[in-house]
A and B are shown apart, each in its own frame.
Chain A
């Protein structure tokens, strides 16, 4: 996957470029908003990592102009601005994710991988957490039992699959019931109040014990450590 890194701080850009390259990403780096917009005029990029505090123009402005050109290029904002306001603004302007400096590199990688899978540019469409494999392309769920060769395919309904996919993509992060609902249903679609609970209940029956955990009052999580 080709990433356009827009960051004016050279040491940070260099270090980040190196880490990303190690993970197998192709990184182009620009340090000005104008240059970023120029680079984006050609369809060479798969996604953007965008700093907001650029010397020539605000990163949000870059994002705005990009979205005005009807581009749906995924954008991850990487910034030192940590107020709720600027976060909401960034997401409102059409950013896919918002990371606050100093960030955990693993966190960035995890989010990049979610985008990668969504774009279909990943080497594999498999999401693996523990001994559960989810094929986002073939809509299959495989659960390994004991050794790796012994895998059983489990059939889930479409909605159940989507719940599991959402949780596995965000492994290590809690998703609230509302967040899961928003991934399942369109605006205005009637949602039964316990729909998510029902889906989770069914998923749990077929998946390993404690694979999907409930954080009471908060939401559901699939731990990375599994």
Chain B
């Protein structure tokens, strides 16, 4: 999950949650406040009615008071508002609003001892908040006046809800606006980080140049500085290592060339002397002539070992620049065989290359080295007059995963399958010290092959050639498609 998404989502959720809790709290408080307010209203109305009724009683003629037998007349007050009320005098309904029933709204038992009493009652298919109050009966003569005022809950609620909604709506809009702002601010704030990611993403694996990024915040500029330091250190380390390999190659190969040329010169001198002073040649000198041959082959061997050790060093993943290219495998193999042909000719072997025009996306020098090692191994361990066959095939193993198979097989003695695992070890040679010493080798060839194959995530398979009865080496290269190639490049 990206930091940006994490921040935006988290902040949005937290903001929503807290606002929601606050809204609920506000709702609760507002409701109770509103209830109190409404109750106060009921109380006020009730007291007013009570006071009016009591005053009416006092001012009335006392004779009228006794006139209880007269048919009772109920004043019916039309009500526009939501209130309903009843005024009872000595259990007789005196005044009522037209929206209240004729019977007593509340049961009389409940409010026996209280002057004022709130309750909730159902009548007329509504739920009401009801207040009933009495006048204080100081004297026995004064009749008991009871005022009951009611207001439907629905009205109360809808009013309170309207109020609360009006208060909460801006908050909801605020959340939306805030979320949007948070998204923009975070996106903007993380922009340098995203730039850094893109910059690092498009970078080649072997590119150690410093990052060209301006960061205004301290955190990121520290990272960039550290990265740049790391890059430059890595760069110089790789450079040193590469230079070392190059210098070593130069320093080792030049004196070797000197020895080689001088061997040639001595041979030339000697043969000249042999021909001109034919009779003066002693057996000792002929022996020395043989030792010169030994010398020459030793120099060759040494040159080979130096080459192989340097090659092994070069095939270390760290040393390989990830500079893979697409090249024609067929012409590369033609080149390799042409280079090695003098050795093949010396042993009078026949070599055959069967290859389609296949392009391989890989590190060209490494694949060249791999082919050289495989083919020269085949040359070395195949007897005089033997056969070597090099094949390149494109196979479609599973859907969409084509592989390029490079096979080298020979008519040599092959290798015991029990040895298959060990032959990739450094300096390991089949048969150990009893190894056929006429073959120029140091036991690094297949190690190099393995290194290169590993580097390309290629698979090596060893088997006995069904065609030539010798060793068959198959190297399965992945056939990397164009689009991926651009990413790697």
Task: Please judge, given known A-B contacts A174-B337, A218-B337, whether A102 and B249 are in contact too, CB under 8 Å.
Answer: no
Report whether B338 and A176 are in contact in the complex, using a CB–CB cutoff of 8 Å.
yes
**CA–CA, A174 and B250, complex, Å:** 28
- Per-residue CB proximity of B240-276 to A under 8 Å, as 1/0? 0000001001100111111111101100100000000
Q: Chain B's nearest CB lies how many Å from the CB of A211? A: 14
Task: Say yes or no: is B291 at the interface (Cβ < 8 Å to chain A).
Answer: no
Chain B residues near A100: list those with CB within 8 A.
253
A11 contacts B268, C-beta separation under 8 Å? no
Cβ of B365: which chain A residues have Cβ within 8 Å of it? 83-85
Of the listed residues B261, B331, B341, the one surrounded by the most CB atoms of chain A closer than 10 A to its CB is B261
B390 pairs with A217, CB closer than 8 A: yes
Which residues of A from 210 to 226 have beta carbons under 8 Å from B? 215-219, 221, 223, 225
Binds B, one of A12-20, A120-128, A131-139: A12-20
Given A82-B249, A85-B365, the answer on whether A101 and B256 have CB atoms closer than 8 Å is yes
Per-residue A-contact encoding for B312-335, CB less than 8 Å = 1, 0 else: 000000000000000000010110
Q: How far is the CB of A112 from chain B (nearest CB, A)?
A: 14
Q: How close is A168's CB to chain B, nearest CB, in angstroms? A: 16
Within 8 A of A (CB), among B272-308: 299, 303, 307
Q: Is the CB of A101 within 8 A of B341?
A: no
Q: Are A217 and B253 in contact (CB under 8 A)?
A: no
Known: A83-B365, A174-B338. A215 touches B255 (CB 8 A): no
- The answer to whether A225 and B345 have CB atoms under 8 Å apart is yes
A11 touches B246 (CB 8 A): no
Chain B proximity mask over A156-195: 1 for CB below 8 Å, otherwise 0: 0000000000000000111110100000000000000000
Q: Are B368 and A12 in contact (CB under 8 A)?
A: no
Q: How many angstroms from the CA of A85 to the CA of B254 in the assembled complex? A: 20
Task: Tally A-B pairs: CB < 8 A.
Answer: 96
Q: B414 → chain A, closest Cβ, in Å?
A: 23
Interchain CB contact under 8 A, A105 and B255: no
Give B351's nearest chain A residue, CB to CB.
Answer: A215
A-chain residues with CB within 8 Å of residue B144 when the two chains form the complex: none
In the complex, residue of chain B having the shortest beta-carbon distance to the beta carbon of A217: B353
**Cβ distance B222 to chain A, nearest Cβ, rounded Å:** 38
Determine if B334 and A219 form an interchain contact, defined as CB atoms under 8 angstroms apart: yes
Q: Which of B249, B338, B342 contacts A219 (CB 8 A)?
A: B338
B262 A15 Cβ-Cβ under 8 A:
yes
Which residues 336-367 of B sit at the A interface, judged by CB distance below 8 A? 337-338, 341-342, 345, 351-355, 364-365
Residue in chain B with minimal CB distance to A177: B334
Q: Tell whether A19 pairs with B268 under 8 Å between CB atoms, given A173-B341, A217-B354.
A: yes
Chain B nearest CB from A104 CB (Å) reads 8
The answer to whether B352 touches A19 (Cβ under 8 A) is: no
The yes or no answer to A9 lying at the interface (CB within 8 A) is yes
Interchain CB contact under 8 A, B341 and A221: yes
Number of A residues, CB within 8 Å of B? 35
- B262 CB contacts on chain A under 8 angstroms: 15
Residue of A nearest to B263 (CB): A105
Interchain CB contact under 8 A, A15 and B265: yes
Interface string of A40-53 (1 = CB under 8 A from B): 00000000000001
The answer to whether B257 and A215 touch across the interface, beta carbons within 8 angstroms, is: no
Q: Does A25 contact B (CB under 8 A)?
A: no
Contacts of B331 in A (CB 8 A): 176, 178
Within 8 A of B (CB), among A82-133: 82-85, 100-105
- Cα(A82)–Cα(B314), bound, Å: 12
> B-facing mask of A10-38, CB < 8 A → 1, else 0?
01100110110010000000000000000
Residues of A contacting B254 in the complex (Cβ-Cβ under 8 angstroms): 9, 12, 80, 101
Pick from A172, A175, A176: contact of B342, CB below 8 A.
A172
Docked CA distance A219–B261 (Å)? 31
A15 in contact with B258 (CB, 8 Å): yes
Are B334 and A176 in contact, with the CB atoms below 8 A?
A: yes
**Residue pair A12, B341 in contact (C-beta under 8 Å):** no
In the complex, A173→B260 CA distance in Å? Answer: 21
Render B173-200 as a binary contact track against A, CB cut-off 8 A, 1 for contact. 0000000000000000000000000000
Residues of B within 8 A of A16 (CB): 261
B378 CB → nearest A CB, Å: 14
A32 to B268: give the CA distance in the assembly, Å: 29
Q: 3 smallest A-B Cβ distances: which pairs?
A: A217-B353, A174-B338, A15-B261
Listed A/B pairs (27) with beta-carbon separation below 8 Å: A11-B258, A12-B254, A16-B261, A18-B261, A22-B265, A80-B253, A80-B254, A81-B246, A81-B250, A84-B365, A85-B365, A100-B253, A101-B254, A102-B253, A102-B303, A103-B257, A104-B260, A105-B260, A172-B342, A172-B345, A174-B337, A174-B338, A215-B337, A218-B337, A218-B353, A221-B341, A225-B345
Q: Which residues of A contact B (CB under 8 A)?
A: 9, 11-12, 15-16, 18-19, 22, 53, 80-85, 100-105, 172-176, 178, 215-219, 221, 223, 225
